[in-house]
């Protein structure tokens, strides 16, 4: 599902919000998540999951084209952990369609 499909889905299920309103809400939600993560904060959405930032240490890597060794610098990466209810729902849907 793309962002525009998400907006379309939410707008179709709500008589109170226009597509434009939903676009603003979705954009604000994603921007708030990104801003919080960039500050190093953890985000927990009960029944869905949690987002946090993990620190990856510098390491030796290899250029796949040349085989030359390179240094991969340390970096921060976003990490999502699905919640129990979310995992159960995904597995239930998967079993119904199989």
Distance between CA atoms of residues 33 and 50, nearest Å? 11
pLDDT at 98 over 60: no
Mean pLDDT in residue range 6-11: 93
Distance between CA atoms of residues 83 and 98, nearest Å? 23
Contact of 62 with 69, CB cutoff 8 Å:
yes
Quick one: tokens of 38? 């960039």
- Looking at the DSSP bridge assignments, the partners of residue 60 are 71
Task: Give residue 43's pLDDT.
Answer: 96
At residue 94 the predicted structure's pLDDT band, cuts being 50, 70 and 90, is low
At residue 95 the predicted structure's pLDDT band, cuts being 50, 70 and 90, is low
Task: Give residue 71's pLDDT.
Answer: 93
In this structure, the chain runs to a length of 98
Domain ranges in the chain are 1-41, 43-98
Task: Give residue 92's pLDDT.
Answer: 87
The domain made up of 43-98 has a fold known as HU Protein; Chain A (4.10.520)
Burial class (CB in 10 A: 0-12, 13-18, 19+), 7: buried
The tens digit of pLDDT for each residue in 22-74 reads 999 999 999 999 999 999 999 999 999 999 999 999 999 999 999 999 999 99
């Amino acid at each position: 599902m793309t962002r525009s499909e998400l907006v379309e889905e939410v707008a179709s299920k709500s008589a109170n919000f226009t597509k434009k309103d939903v676009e603003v809400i979705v954009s604000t939600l994603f921007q708030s998540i990104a801003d919080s993560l960039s500050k190093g904060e953890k985000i927990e959405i009960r029944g869905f999951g949690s987002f946090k930032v993990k620190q990856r240490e510098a390491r030796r890597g290899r250029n796949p084209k040349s085989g030359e060794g390179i240094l991969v610098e340390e970096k921060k990466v976003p990490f999502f952990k699905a919640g129990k209810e979310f995992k159960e729902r995904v597995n239930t849907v998967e079993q119904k369609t199989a």
